[in-house]
A and B are shown apart, each in its own frame.
Chain A
Amino acid sequence: MRTGSKKFLLSKGLDEYFIGVYNAYKFIGRFFKEAFKAPFHFREIINQCFEIGLKALPLITLTGFITGIVFTKQSRPSLETFGATSWLPSLISIAILRALASLVTALICSGKVGSSIGAELGSMRVTEQIDAMEVSAINPFKFLVTTRVLATTITVPILALYCGFVALLGSFVNINAHEATSFISFFEHGFDTITFLDIFTSVTKSIFFGFTIGIVGCYKGYNASSGTVGVGRAANQAVVLSMFLVFIEEVVIVQVSNWIRLF
């Protein structure tokens, strides 16, 4: 390795791509190895859960509520053509609980939480704080990465359920104004068509989303290259990559849950 020019197996880009995939794979493997070994840093996990929750809560509340209102508003005309506005609550509930709530939450968390984890760990990397932990015999992966990934995996599903609830409230506000449907009857109609599998799929999705956001943010931050540019890049790449993966997971999980529905 100490001599002359570097040889690439395929090409520079492809080599780097596969090395990246391999490193990410190792990173995820390390997470699972460390997550089930003591010490567990419960307190740090709880701290991170609160931090993530508080960071994302205002935006999720706002976005969820508006999504509910807008979606209801936009769906009404097409249902009206069939004289089927009484189906609005169930249509909305299906859309929100099956798809919108978890997706909206995941996207918001990618932006808010993923980027801040990427930036935080990135700046700890470039200012040698991670090295400082390591040389004082503290396992930085365990203390920083494991705790954050667990925290996002726990918190994002909770936020998604909350987002669904707020979106339904928004929808109710709109329906109440137009059709004078009562709160009780709105929710009765809404939940009529919702099955356990819907909720289960939604929560499962959110667990995957939460894990993805945490692990991507940590991976990008933990491996940030030196310099302040590295920090910005880590934050940015964390958002882009986690959003991308969230969409792919969404498609895959919906497909799988549709197969399950067939049985």
Chain B
Amino acid sequence: MQSDNHNDIIDRDDAVISISGLYKSFGTLDVLKGIDLDVHKGENVAVLGRSGTGKSVLIKILVGLLKPDAGIVKVLGQEVDKLQGKELDALRLKIGFSFQNSALYDSMDVRRNLEFPLRMNFKSLTKKEIDIAVEEVLDAVGLLDKINQLPSDLSGGQKKRIGIARTLILKPEIMLYDEPTSGLDPITSVEINDLINDVQRRYHTSSIIITHDLTCAKVTANRVAILLDGAFLKVGTFDDVFATQEERIQSFFNYNFIT
């Protein structure tokens, strides 16, 4: 479990994601209650928290799938909730979103899953260019041999990889991973962690990694943020955060290693 974090490639002056005073509620349910977070260029930030604390809601707001009730959410310098139509699409092309359950199009085989975002967004690409792009990202996630399989024939870990490959094909500047290791066995989790680090290095992405898997956070993240009751309890390096004697953090830490 050696630390493979690339602190050297982070530009601390350049925030690609900047969230301040973010509130979000659904009806009477307050989910996010004042979130502040900056993600710098080249940095991986892990957001840790229990189920139902609003982690997915947070990153869905970043891509405009949900609208914030209050607060400022800037991605690559643009206020996401103020964007519409073509401008929003242009921003979304720079953000890769890896869904918790992969969200592969189950009527399409792997190749068509990967081609789809390219074909739909860049009509002028030739068949050959598309094929090259598909093979490159499949190679990056190490699943070239699965190119003609249907998603239903893939294992959970393979689905996650193809899901990540599908976002990489658009060459994103930012990656948002929603629980990349949830539901996977420990060995596959390690592979996914490696892939996340590999993507950071190879594609120079900045990332938010939603997880409740401490190993994943420790191995992939430059900083971690603990989400509790709709706000960040603590943000910092993994060691700093878990060195504190704050009871709620320690209980999270213990719980994770016992189960």
Contacts and interface: CB of A to CB of B under 8 A. Distances in A.
Nearest to A138: B120
Given A129-B105, A132-B105, A143-B120, A2 B25 contact: yes
Interface in B45-102: 60, 63, 65, 69, 89-90, 92-93, 95, 97, 99-101
Contacts of A5: 28
A127 interface: yes
A1 interface: yes
Interface in B158-215: 166-167, 170
Contacts of A129: 103-106
A132 B99 contact: yes
A6 B95 CA distance: 36
Interface residues of A, number: 21
Given A2-B25, A4-B28, A132-B97, A137 B105 contact: no
Contacts of A134: 65, 92
Contacts of B60: 131
A1 B25 contact: yes
B121 A136 contact: yes
A135 B28 contact: no
Given A1-B27, A143-B120, A135 B101 contact: no
A121 B90 CA distance: 26
A135 B56 CA distance: 14
Interface size class, chain B: 20 to 34
A136 B101 contact: no
Contacts of B105: 124, 129, 132
Contacts of B131: none
B4 interface: no
Contacts of B101: 127-128
Interface string B140-161: 0000000000000000000000
Contacts of B90: 137
Contacts of B97: 132, 135-136
A2 B101 CA distance: 30
Nearest to B100: A128
A134 B99 CA distance: 12
B11 interface: no
Nearest to B93: A137
Given A2-B28, A2-B30, A6-B27, A136 B92 contact: yes
Nearest to B92: A137
Nearest to B95: A135
A52 B112 CA distance: 22
A136 B104 CA distance: 12
B116 interface: yes
A262 to B, nearest CB: 49
Contacts of B104: 129, 132
Most B CB contacts (10 A, CB to CB) among A4, A5, A129, A132 go to A132
B117 interface: yes
Interface string A25-40: 0000000000000010
Contacts of A6: 27-28
Nearest to A126: B101
A135 B25 contact: no
Nearest to A123: B106
Given A1-B27, A2-B25, A143-B120, A137 B89 contact: yes
30 contacts: A1-B25, A2-B30, A3-B28, A5-B28, A6-B27, A6-B28, A124-B105, A127-B103, A128-B99, A128-B100, A129-B105, A131-B60, A131-B65, A131-B99, A131-B103, A132-B97, A132-B104, A132-B105, A132-B166, A135-B65, A135-B95, A135-B97, A136-B116, A136-B117, A136-B120, A136-B121, A137-B93, A137-B117, A137-B120, A138-B116
Interface of B: 25, 27-28, 30, 60, 63, 65, 69, 89-90, 92-93, 95, 97, 99-101, 103-107, 116-117, 120-121, 123, 166-167, 170
Interface of A: 1-6, 39, 120, 123-124, 127-129, 131-132, 134-138, 143
